[in-house]
Amino acid sequence: MNFDKIWTKENTTFTLRTLKKLEDDPHLPDIISLIDNRVVNIWSVLPYLAKSLKVDRYAELGVRRGFSMALVGARRKKAHLTGFDLWQPDYGGAPNPGPDLVRAELKKVGHTGDVELITGDCAETVPAHEGKYPLVLVDAEHTEDGQYRDITNAAGLLEKGGYLVVDDLQDAGVFKAWERAASDLGLEHWAAGRVGVLRGN
């Protein structure tokens, strides 16, 4: 994957415009700063891939307030979106209101497709899920072992040629998990900035 392609004016403008439609959040200024400073991040990678792959189904491990899901939903307004989350209160030092807010945010950006939000531990809910997807995000468990488990489980959701995106490679534990998973899965992979990407066989 050529990460330089995420920095087109169209993709950057689309991403910032979409994020500004969503409810305010303590993390939003940091997200916008990453984009402004051209640090490779999921909020630029996902809308680029959603558009270029013409994504009709998208899955996300770790939804929280739905920023990432809203960007994919805004790009692909009729796509089927699936999210896995425990909806832990005050996750990451910020409010985490749950599925109702996520659905409301998706409506704000014009998404009209089906939305499936699955409550529970990703360690159990993801392996039990039978869907296949061209685009999957992993942004849930941030311990090394938990992240490794989530990446390898999420790889099972990929359709042939699909892309699995991993957030927070700047975290040492996440990066180690990413390296282990990429090696063990034997998939084509790339990493830059905060993001890793694997391509399904």
Question: Is the distance from CB of 34 to CB of 60 less than 8 angstroms?
Answer: no
Structure token digits, residue 61: 């491990």
Tally of domains in the chain: 1
pLDDT digits (tens, 9 = 90+) for 100-159: 999 999 999 999 999 999 999 999 999 999 999 999 999 988 899 999 999 999 999 999
CA dihedral for 102, 106, 162, 32, sign (positive or negative): negative
Q: In Å, what is the CA distance from 72 to each residue of 90, 110, 152?
A: 24, 11, 22
Structure token digits, residue 44: 């630029």
DSSP 8-state symbol, 177: H
**Residue-level pLDDT at 159:** 96
Low-confidence stretches of the chain (pLDDT beneath 70): 91-94
Averaged confidence pLDDT in the chain? 94
**Residue-level pLDDT at 85:** 95
Q: Helix, strand, or coil here: 157?
A: coil
**Residue-level pLDDT at 113:** 98
**Residue-level pLDDT at 104:** 97
Residues forming beta bridges with residue 85, ordered by sequence position? 119
As a whole number of angstroms, the distance between CA 17 and CA 1 comes to 25
Length of the chain, in residues:
201
Burial 2-14, CB ≥16 within 10 A → b, else e: ebeebeeeebbeb
Region of residue 195 (phi > 0: left; psi between -120 and 50: alpha; otherwise: beta)? beta
**Residue-level pLDDT at 139:** 93
Q: Under 8 Å CB-to-CB from 39, ≥6 apart: which residues? A: 193, 194
> pTM of the entire structure?
0.96
**Residue-level pLDDT at 26:** 87
Q: Helix, strand, or coil here: 190?
A: strand
**Residue-level pLDDT at 96:** 74
**Residue-level pLDDT at 91:** 67
**Residue-level pLDDT at 142:** 83
Question: Can you give the residue range of the structural domain that contains 42?
Answer: 3-199
**Which domain CATH number covers 39?**
3.40.50.150
- Element (DSSP H or E) covering residue 196: strand 195-199
